[in-house]
Structure 1
């Protein structure tokens, strides 16, 4: 095992944590990477949920909440992470290699799920940075394509190199074993970059205001509270700003026990 990651400690499972092995790591840029882990046969999650993952520390495991980026039916579980040099966890996690071990919580949870949304026609998944992760899972969920006529994944980043999974998303999920055919008809990908030249630039709120977000879609060039449903995931500032904006359209926040028009991950926002 990589001592830089493990600090020389051997990982042992606990009542709340399993120990999984890294099978693949890909660095999209200096500050963004994805990794896959083995998946315990008993691990189940709803698309859009998060789980605690972490590494050993001096006294107890150092854990953080991570949305699962893989499809619910995948044999492995995948995550998307930033790499913060000063971060207690990511300063070490960014150095993981195949064969290393990572703690994974046994109880995934979250509010960024379709159960918290009312039925609709268009589903917009609005993300910044690593907020794309849960939408990578949702976009590969066959049930989502049965629930909505159009699925729109919007990913806003600062630099082009931070557009994780760009080729796969631009291909409309070509090669996915369960949703390839549906995605070819129903899936839309809107990447936007804020600090470099790109074919689409600007923050998500600007794309909403000028109608760019709705190009190529059926329906109105604005949000319709009767048929549009929205999910938000990313920076706290983005979520709070866009949630306030959605309220001006008459959209109401939903929850697992009371489905609504839009949802956010409350655990990440507070």
Structure 2
């Protein structure tokens, strides 16, 4: 790619400095970077992020883990050893550059939901990312009586941000009172011993999820659902809530559920 073409391609991105990297295990990591003051986003949205590879931007869609008020940006990523982007991104170091798209978008925003009683956030793996942003946005708590984060993973070490959700957030100076009163964390593990076993879809169907959270069964007239995970998870969960009578919300027409189709697999 010529210098002119490369500069043109880069115009769609901010170039930010990596400030922190944390590896949860051999398949999962998080990192933070600086944030241009001009970047604006709504909790739950994603941006195209990536690296310069052979003079060209190599990017994928990543939801912001960080809330809109955070001065930095944080992301949660899988590690795919032969993945075009994640095979490189997993080795990123503090001080290196990362590309951040200038126009965040996405459907996992509370504006796409009708007012309701309880908000259920259903996630697998790194699908937790947008919900980390949403549970640190005061707007989320102001609109719902209870906010449930139901995170299903294969191994216990994949329960990213577990300590933050259960210990740090309830003690947060500004958000702690809301989180302590309204936030319910409902993790489950499928392939290792853990107090709560099984996929969230199965747990909803059997009623185990309601026993775990102490909440009434999902009701499309009262409750709202957000989903983010693998394609298979999204398909199964969407079929489940549609069967219960939930209707998808969009930017133009709020509904009783929303799901994010942009999910990093490579």
Name the TM tier (shorter chain).
Answer: over 0.9
CA distance in 2 between partners of 1:83 and 1:11 (Å): 29
CA distance in 2 between partners of 1:76 and 1:11 (Å): 25
Q: Secondary structure at the match of 1:123?
A: strand
CA distance in 1 between partners of 2:13 and 2:164 (Å): 31
Q: Does 1:50 align with 2:46?
A: yes
Counterpart in 1 of 2:34?
38
Q: 1:179 Cα shift?
A: 1.4
Superposition pairs of residues 192-207 of structure 1, within 5 angstroms: 192-207=188-203
The counterpart of 2:25, out of the listed 15, 24, 29, is 29
Closer/same/farther in 2, CA of residues 11 and 136 from structure 1, 3 Å limit: farther
Q: Secondary structure at the match of 2:234?
A: helix
Closer/same/farther in 2, CA of residues 120 and 199 from structure 1, 3 Å limit: same
Counterpart in 2 of 1:237?
232
Q: 1:205 Cα shift?
A: 1.2
The counterpart of 1:246, out of the listed 241, 244, 247, is 241
Q: Secondary structure at the match of 2:23?
A: strand
Provide the TM-score with structure 1 as the length reference: 0.92
Counterpart in 2 of 1:5?
none
Q: 1:213 Cα shift?
A: 1.5
CA distance in 2 between partners of 1:240 and 1:208 (Å): 15
CA distance in 2 between partners of 1:254 and 1:69 (Å): 22
Superposition pairs of residues 136-147 of structure 1, within 5 angstroms: 136-147=132-143
Q: How many residues align?
A: 259
1:127-186 CA distances to partner (integer Å, 9 max, x unpaired)? 000000000000110011000000000110000000000111122713434311111010
Q: 1:211 Cα shift?
A: 1.8
CA distance in 1 between partners of 2:171 and 2:16 (Å): 26
The 8 Å contact of residues 172 and 184 in structure 1, kept in 2 or not, is answered as no
Counterpart in 2 of 1:163?
159
Provide the TM-score with structure 2 as the length reference: 0.93
The counterpart of 1:214, out of the listed 210, 217, 229, is 210
Q: Secondary structure at the match of 1:260?
A: coil
CA distance in 2 between partners of 1:176 and 1:93 (Å): 30
Closer/same/farther in 2, CA of residues 177 and 45 from structure 1, 3 Å limit: farther
CA distance in 2 between partners of 1:188 and 1:113 (Å): 19
The 8 Å contact of residues 9 and 56 in structure 2, kept in 1 or not, is answered as no
Q: Secondary structure at the match of 2:108?
A: coil
Counterpart in 1 of 2:108?
112
Q: 1:60 Cα shift?
A: 1.5
The 8 Å contact of residues 11 and 56 in structure 1, kept in 2 or not, is answered as no
1:167-221 CA distances to partner (integer Å, 9 max, x unpaired)? 111227134343111110100001100000000010111110222222365652x
Counterpart in 1 of 2:3?
none
CA distance in 2 between partners of 1:143 and 1:112 (Å): 14
Closer/same/farther in 2, CA of residues 219 and 33 from structure 1, 3 Å limit: closer
The 8 Å contact of residues 119 and 147 in structure 1, kept in 2 or not, is answered as yes
The counterpart of 2:86, out of the listed 90, 98, 114, is 90
Structure 2 alignment gaps of length 5 or more? 1-5
Closer/same/farther in 2, CA of residues 257 and 268 from structure 1, 3 Å limit: farther
Closer/same/farther in 2, CA of residues 177 and 12 from structure 1, 3 Å limit: farther
